[in-house]
Amino acid sequence: MSESVLKVQSLTKKIGKATIVDNVSFEIKSNEIFGLLGPNGAGKTTIIRMITGLINRTGGTVMINGSDLDHDFEGAMNELGAIVENPEFYKYMTGRKNILHYARMSSNDISNERIEEVIKLVKLDHAIDKKVKTYSLGMRQRLGVAQAILHKPSLLIFDEPTNGLDPQGIREFRDYLKVLASEGVGILISSHLLSEMQLMCDSFAVIEKGKLIHTKEHIVDEKTETINEVSFTVSGGKLAKKILQEQFADITILKYDSKTISVSATREQTANINRSFIENQLDVYEIGITRKSLEDKFFEITEQEMRESV
Amino acid sequence: MMSLVKNEWMKIFSKVSTYIFIAFLLLAALGAAVIDYKLSPDETNKDWKQELNADIQEQEKALEAKEISEEEKAAIMDDINYNKQLLADNINPDLNTNWTYMAEWTTSLTSFVTLFVVIVCSSLVSSEFSDGTIKQLLIRPYKRWKILLSKYITSLLFAALLLASLLIFSYLIGIIFFGNGSYSDKIMDPASFDFSPVVVGEYFVDMIVYWIPGFLVITTIAFMLSTLFKNQALAVGISIFILFASSTLNMVIQSFIGKYEWLKFVLFPHLDLRGYISGTIEMFDGATLGFSMGVLGIYYLIFLALTFFFFQKKISLIK
């Protein structure tokens, strides 16, 4: 059983009459990479600032690894590692001194071996004794990861972590996340880059206008009745079309030619179609499933929300 | 708390400017010694009593000259009295030791210490905001007031370090240039109009000790301004402006203090307590060391309270 490393309940932020964040609740377990999605200005950063204690909450509670932010601020903060927005460092100091600076601020004793280990992990060993002002953005991001994981926190928060990173940097970052999550850390990432998030996150929440409008849907969830685009490569396209029209009248045929036929079908329906094809002496060489991208899902959700609100 | 102070200390000493400031203090002490050395007689004058007597005789002759104005007469009379007093108190006016050098020069070089401490302290908090590092600093397992307090402690330690550097540099340079003189040699009190002898070492120590409270308050003002402004340059600029304007403001305030009683409670006349050392000059009616210390103390507490208040306000406005 994985335990909850972050529990946010009824998080609310009001500035004057405007409600920036409205009654948001979610939970992140260890080993989980959780994406906070939403368009710019939806309130993602405000939520993250409230969780990290950088701004006051109007209402709601934040528990980090079982410590309440209000009652045990220091305990909660020691379980947190984060890069809030851009990874900013003391540019006039070396990377090593920056790391030492944050190591000293932990409640845990951080050994020199641990510092070396983290520097190696983020592949900065060649540049760690250079001043941070000579670092590229990618290197600063890696230094950011180093200072965040130094004290082995149970929760990591990265706000728009891939901003300004090149594709290689993004890929490296993704790999770190997977490794960290496999070691038992819970990770919260905010982003407006949906395709990025799809590759990184196990589950996600969609924020719009300060409200949580969708949560905890696993991006790859085999049990749900999600309709996928399924394409069958068969020995005869015409026969396949005939079988579908006769036996599966409710299934939409997206396209077909002599060798392939594409339909919209659920997981269950895909199995049934396959059985029918075989029973009708049709050879099935390949079944391909094009899963709905997070982007499609995101627009589906936000558009639905918009229709409802009209 | 120790580790927080260590961090701040590391940040200050990772900047090149810090080393430049310390090097400047060394050079300033050295430069002052060179000037003092050039100005002073080549060797310690053993016949200073005879010379003084000769001077007095010459001056008395000059008094008898006919074409002399009343003003000149008064000036010459002052000189005669001064020289007679030197003889009476057995004070060698040409005395030049490390102590006379420090009494004359180091007591002025302290303004550089103030200037550098103001520059460093007024950027201690504001630079965290302008560099964007404040967010990374605040998401640590430390209460905010502890982080601020560690910075304040660091600024006091840094102020102490710069003052100690100046004193040590001056003492050593003084010994090299002028030899190790006696602490208890007598000189005429430079701050006094009636000619009263003082022990040079005691005078020097007093000049430093009476300077420290004002220095502490100015350091605290600079630190307060660093929490008030997000922009580092603005914080440093305003601190230095206040530093330089304070002596001018002081003069203005002193000239109106008879008219307006409440001006007594304005900070500026109390920032430099060195006027109380000889006790001969009264800054204004009813000015006593105790009163000035009281006013300084109250301002100090207000500034500290404001600093912690501003910091709380400031971090709630993080963008």
The per-residue pLDDT for range A189-203, each reduced to its tens digit, is 888 777 777 778 888
Instruction: Please report residues of B whose CB lies closer than 8 A to that of A101.
Output: 7, 10-11
Q: Which of B9, B128, B140, B312 to mutate to test the interface with A (most CBs of A within 10 A)?
A: B140
DSSP letter at A94? B
How many degrees, rounded to 5, is the angle at CA B214 between CA B210 and CA B217? 145
How many degrees, rounded to 5, is the angle at CA B224 between CA B221 and CA B226? 115
Digit-coded pLDDT (tens) for A164-190: 777 887 888 888 888 888 888 899 988
How many degrees, rounded to 5, is the angle at CA B18 between CA B13 and CA B23? 125
Q: B210, B276 in Cβ contact below 8 A? A: yes
Pairing of strands A155-159, A80-83: parallel
Q: Answer yes or no: do A77 and B135 touch at CB < 8 A.
A: no
- CB burial class (10 A; 0-12, 13-18, 19+) of residue B267? buried
How far apart CA A188 and CA A199 sit, in angstroms, is 14
B-facing residues of A in 139-178 (CB < 8 A) are 147
Largest Cα span, chain B: 85
Residue B19 pLDDT exceeds 80: yes
pLDDT score of B156: 94
Q: Answer yes or no: do A54 and B138 touch at CB < 8 A.
A: yes
How far apart CA A218 and CA A46 sit, in angstroms, is 24
Q: Where in chain A is CATH 3.30.70?
A: 228-290
Contact of B142 with chain A, judged by CB distance below 8 Å, is answered with: yes
Name residue A29's beta-bridge partners: A4
Residue A112 pLDDT exceeds 80: yes
Low-confidence winner among A50-59, B61-70, B116-125, B149-158 (lowest mean pLDDT)? B61-70
Q: Answer yes or no: do A92 and B15 touch at CB < 8 A.
A: yes
Residue B207 pLDDT exceeds 80: yes
Low-confidence winner among A287-301, B132-146, B222-236 (lowest mean pLDDT)? A287-301
Q: Answer yes or no: do B318 and A55 touch at CB < 8 A.
A: yes
- The pLDDT of B84-90, averaged and rounded, is 74
- The pLDDT of B226-231, averaged and rounded, is 82
DSSP letter at A291? P
Q: B52, B93 in Cβ contact below 8 A? A: yes
Instruction: Please report residues of B whose CB lies closer than 8 A to that of A74.
Output: 141-143
Instruction: Please report residues of A whose CB lies closer than 8 A to that of B16.
Output: 92
Q: Where in chain A is CATH 3.40.50.300?
A: 4-218
- Contacts A–B by Cβ distance under 8 A: 74
Contact of A105 with chain B, judged by CB distance below 8 Å, is answered with: yes
Contact of A49 with chain B, judged by CB distance below 8 Å, is answered with: yes
Instruction: Please tell me the class of the A228-290 domain.
Output: alpha beta
Q: Answer yes or no: do B10 and A101 touch at CB < 8 A.
A: yes
How far apart CA A174 and CA A182 sit, in angstroms, is 12
- The pLDDT of A270-284, averaged and rounded, is 86
Give the burial string for B66-76 (b: 16+ CB within 10 Å, else e): eeeeeeeeeeb
Q: B124, B151 in Cβ contact below 8 A? A: yes
DSSP letter at A12? E
How far apart CA A125 and CA A118 sit, in angstroms, is 9
Low-confidence winner among A109-123, A205-219, B76-90 (lowest mean pLDDT)? A205-219
- The pLDDT of A150-158, averaged and rounded, is 89
Instruction: Please report residues of A whose CB lies closer than 8 A to that of B15.
Output: 92
Contact of B146 with chain A, judged by CB distance below 8 Å, is answered with: no
How far apart CA A65 and CA A6 sit, in angstroms, is 6
Between these two residues, B4 and A205, which has the higher pLDDT value?
A: B4
Digit-coded pLDDT (tens) for A5-48: 888 888 888 888 888 888 888 888 888 888 888 877 778 888 88
Residue A243 pLDDT exceeds 70: yes
Q: For residue A190, which of A176, A215, A207 has the smallest C-alpha distance?
A: A207
Nearest chain A residue to B313 by CA: give it. A55
pLDDT confidence band for A97 (50 / 70 / 90): very high
Q: Does domain A4-218 have CATH number 3.40.50.300?
A: yes
Residue B163 pLDDT exceeds 90: yes
pLDDT score of A220: 47
Residue A206 pLDDT exceeds 90: no
pLDDT score of B283: 65
From its phi and psi, is residue A85 left (phi > 0), alpha (psi between -120 and 50) or beta? left
- pLDDT above 70: percentage of residues in chain B: 92
Q: Answer yes or no: do B132 and A86 touch at CB < 8 A.
A: yes
Give the closest of A52, A97, A100 to B139, CB-based.
A52
Q: Answer yes or no: do A84 and B4 touch at CB < 8 A.
A: no
Nearest chain B residue to A107 by CA: give it. B141
Give the closest of A73, A78, A88 to B132, CB-based.
A88
Between these two residues, B192 and B250, which has the higher pLDDT value?
A: B250
Question: Average pLDDT of chain A?
Answer: 82
Residue A306 pLDDT exceeds 60: no
Contact of B2 with chain A, judged by CB distance below 8 Å, is answered with: no
Nearest chain A residue to B17 by CA: give it. A92
Residue B154 pLDDT exceeds 60: yes
Contact of A100 with chain B, judged by CB distance below 8 Å, is answered with: yes
Q: Is A83 helix (H, G, I), strand (E, B) or coil?
A: strand
pLDDT score of B67: 73
pLDDT score of B193: 63
Residue B168 pLDDT exceeds 90: yes
Instruction: Please report residues of A whose CB lies closer than 8 A to that of B146.
Output: none
Rg (CA), chain A: 24
Instruction: Please report residues of B whose CB lies closer than 8 A to that of A75.
Output: 141
- The pLDDT of B6-35, averaged and rounded, is 91
pLDDT confidence band for B251 (50 / 70 / 90): confident
> Distances from the Cα of A86 to the Cαs of A142, A162, A178, B26, B291, in angstroms?
12, 10, 21, 41, 51
Instruction: Please report residues of B whose CB lies closer than 8 A to that of A97.
Output: 10, 14
Please provide the size of chain A in residues.
310
Give me the residue label for tokens 């000259």: B65
Instruction: Please report residues of B whose CB lies closer than 8 A to that of A80.
Output: 139
